[in-house]
Structures are given as C-alpha cells and as structure tokens.
A = this chain, B = another copy of it.
Amino acid sequence: MPFTRISLRPGYSDAQLARISDILQQCLEAEFAVPPRDRFQIFEELPPGRHVFDRHYKSNGRSDNFIQFHILAGKPRTLEQKQNFCRLLCERLHAALAIHPDDVMVMIRFNTADDWSFSQGRMLSEEV
C-alpha cells in the first residue's frame, strides 16, 4: 500500500534508478510488512536550484547526492518499524550506490485503507 516519491539529483542512469527502486522495495517488505508486488514509486529529478536543502541541519553534511523519500502508507507503523526501515534503507543505499547515510532523508505520512483504490474504482477496504 505504500506510495513513495523519491526526489533526487539528475544524472542517475536508468539502471541506478532501478537499483534504488529495488532497495526501497526490499526495505519496505523487510521492515514495513509490505507485500512483494505492492510497489508504487515516482522518481523526481530536480535540477540545480530546484532542490533546496540545508547542508548541515541534523546531518553530518549533505552533498549533491541528497535524496528524499516521501512515503504515504495506508496503516500505522511503530516507531521501531520506522527506525529499522530507515536504518536498513541507509545501509543498502550506501552499500549498493555509495549514497551516504548523511544524504538520506525520509518523511512518512499515513492515511487509512479506506483512502486507497488500486484499480477499477474499488476502495482497498472493499477487497477481502
């Protein structure tokens, strides 16, 4: 059920974006109990001057690789789940793509299953 918008610099190859997509999905499955094929993402590449961020606020130092994950999820998660998800996401982005944990920002919002229709005008809560 989650939908994620990923805001990042231009210049990543299609293969690198696909790698970020896979890592995000793996972390959501591992820590947010998301089903395997429940994958919905938008990548938004922002030219210079369109992605404004402080280089040091609550980070040891952000670079041009700064990346934001805006997640909308349909049911609540515990603080522990959020912690584990964010830590795993940082670890895997670092290992696979050399995106530094200082460059990774996550914002999560929640609504309810009544607020999602995946297709055919059926609300998720109608599907049993």
| Cβ-neighbour of A123 out of B39, B43, B82 (below 8 A) | B82
Q: Told that A39-B54, A43-B46 touch, could you supply 17 new A-B pairs with CB distance under 8 A?
A: A14-B49, A38-B54, A39-B52, A43-B52, A58-B124, A72-B107, A82-B114, A82-B117, A101-B120, A104-B117, A104-B120, A104-B121, A106-B117, A107-B117, A109-B109, A109-B111, A110-B111
Residues of B contacting A75 with CB < 8 Å?
none
Residues of B contacting A68 with CB < 8 Å?
3, 40
Chain A interface size range: 35 or more
Contact B125 A79 (CB under 8 A): yes
Q: How far is the CA of A49 from the CA of B3 in the complex (A)?
A: 16
